[in-house]
Amino acid sequence: KLPLPGNYLGTAFKGGPIVAVLIGLLLTTIVFSIERLIVIGKASGKSNLETFMRKVQGMLSAHNIDGAAAECDKQEGSVANVIKSGLRKYKEVEVDSTMDVEQSIVA
pLDDT score of 107: 66
Q: Which domain holds residue 12?
A: 8-43
- Using the predicted structure, report yes or no on whether residue 103 has a pLDDT greater than 80: no
The answer on 82 and 53 residing in a single domain is yes
| Number of domains making up the chain | 2
The answer on 89 and 54 residing in a single domain is yes
Q: What residues contact residue 47 under an 8 Å CB cut-off, 6+ apart?
A: 74, 75
DSSP character at residue 62: T
Q: Which pTM was predicted?
A: 0.62
Residue 14 lies in a domain: yes
The answer on 63 and 32 residing in a single domain is no
Cα dihedral sign, 91-94-100-102: positive
The answer on 54 and 89 residing in a single domain is yes
Tens-digit pLDDT profile for residues 11-52:
888 888 898 899 999 999 999 999 999 998 888 888 888 999
d(CA 84, CA 11): 56
Residue 95 lies in a domain: yes
Residue 72 lies in a domain: yes
Residue 31 lies in a domain: yes
Tens-digit pLDDT profile for residues 42-95:
888 888 889 999 999 999 999 999 999 999 999 988 999 999 999 998 888 887
The answer on 74 and 57 residing in a single domain is yes
**Residue, of 37 and 102, whose pLDDT is higher:** 37
